[in-house]
Amino acid sequence: MYRNPFNVLINIALNEFARVFYHPMTPVIVLLLSFLAVLNGAGGTAANFIGGPDEAGLYYCIGQTFMFTSIYGVVVAVFIGVMSVAEERRNHSLNIVLSKPVYRRDLLAGKFLGLNCYMLAIIVYSMLLAGLVLSLFYFTPTNPLDFLAKIVIYVIIAFCYTSITLAIALLISIIFRDLLISTTVAIAYIFMDGYVGWTWLLPGLRNFSPRSAMCNLYISSAANLQSTSLTVSQWFSANLLNLFFLAAAIVLICLVAMSVYTKGDNL
């Protein structure tokens, strides 16, 4: 019987998305991001930092929203990535909902796709809510289309950041089969990349840090997103190559994870 790998991939992705979407922690994540978006949208941070509501304060506030969305998004991505592989090893839940054969590469690719869709939904929700609240309660942008385009760019950067973190989390969970060990390594990774920085341990890895790549896309000297004069075309012209290398890194990590995970036939 003909087996359509695309249909299998989509079914796995939908199943994984539904699993995390209906998880009891999802409402907590949404409420936290909603609270922070509304709080930041009130304009208190920018008013104290800049001196009053204006266009510069508006872009500063949406940048702050992007930063905490990225930080919390990375934490969520790490834990759902580690738990996804661990739960599948323990429960083999997809063996029940899918017809065999289900190959390991399809399983991992489908999980990665489904979890990425979940993270994208969380990021889009947080950024759009913050943009709406900022426009209503803080300062209405003089160019709404440019403001919306900047939000789209922020979504792209945050999504790339969480996506590469998710790929690393899946790889960690595959290499360290024990849940406790993989969780410990994942937490250590968050701490090193997000708070300590790889330059403290290995200065040569600075340019290969996901957080450094995210910051370069956000506030690089060539294209600072907090600048009110920066256009979307200018940002893409300055960062197209960086986006390409970041996407290539995500694909490479996924291929490494698949090569490790596919040591076996079908599930």
Looking at residue 3, its pLDDT comes to 58
pTM: 0.85
Amino acid at 83: M
Q: What pLDDT, on the 0 to 100 scale, is given for residue 205?
A: 57
Q: Are 250 and 164 in contact (CB under 8 A)?
A: yes
**Cβ contacts of 111 within 8 Å, gap of 6 or more:** 12, 13, 16, 84, 85, 88, 170
Res. 167: pLDDT tops 60: yes
The stretch 19-38 carries a mean pLDDT of: 83
Q: Number of C-alpha atoms within 13 angstroms, CB side, residue 153?
A: 30
Residue type, 184: T
C-alpha–C-alpha distance, residues 253 and 165, integer Å: 10
Per-residue model confidence as pLDDT tens digits over 98-108: 555 667 788 88
Does residue 39 carry a pLDDT above 80?
no
Spatial contact of 81 and 169, defined as CB atoms under 8 Å apart: yes
**Can you give the residue ranges of every domain in the chain?**
5-261
In this prediction, residues 1-28 reach a mean pLDDT of 81
SS3 188: helix
As a whole-number percent, the residues of the chain with pLDDT over 70 amount to: 80
Residue pair 163/157 in contact (Cβ under 8 Å)? The answer is: no
Backbone angles phi, psi at 20, to 5 degrees: -80, -30
* Average pLDDT of the chain to the nearest whole number: 80
Measured distance CA(97)–CA(46) in Å, rounded: 50
How far apart CA 169 and CA 250 sit, in angstroms, is 12
In this structure, the dihedral spanned by the alpha carbons of residues 253, 256, 257 and 258, taken in order and rounded to 10 degrees, is: 120
| pLDDT for position 265 | 43
Cis previous bond, 53, omega within 30: no
| Arithmetic mean of pLDDT, 82-95 | 70
Residue type, 53: P
Left, alpha or beta for 43 (phi > 0: left; psi -120 to 50: alpha)? left
pLDDT tens-digit readout, 225-252: 877 788 888 888 888 888 898 899 999 9
Condensed to tens digits (0 to 9), the pLDDT of residues 111-147 reads 999 999 999 999 999 999 988 888 887 777 888 898 8
Query: Cα-flanking dihedrals φ and ψ of residue 103, to 5°?
Result: -80, 150
Q: Which of 166, 204, 140, 12 is nearest to 74 (CA)?
A: 166
Provide CB contacts within 8 A for 258, sequence distance 6+.
Answer: 104, 105, 108, 109
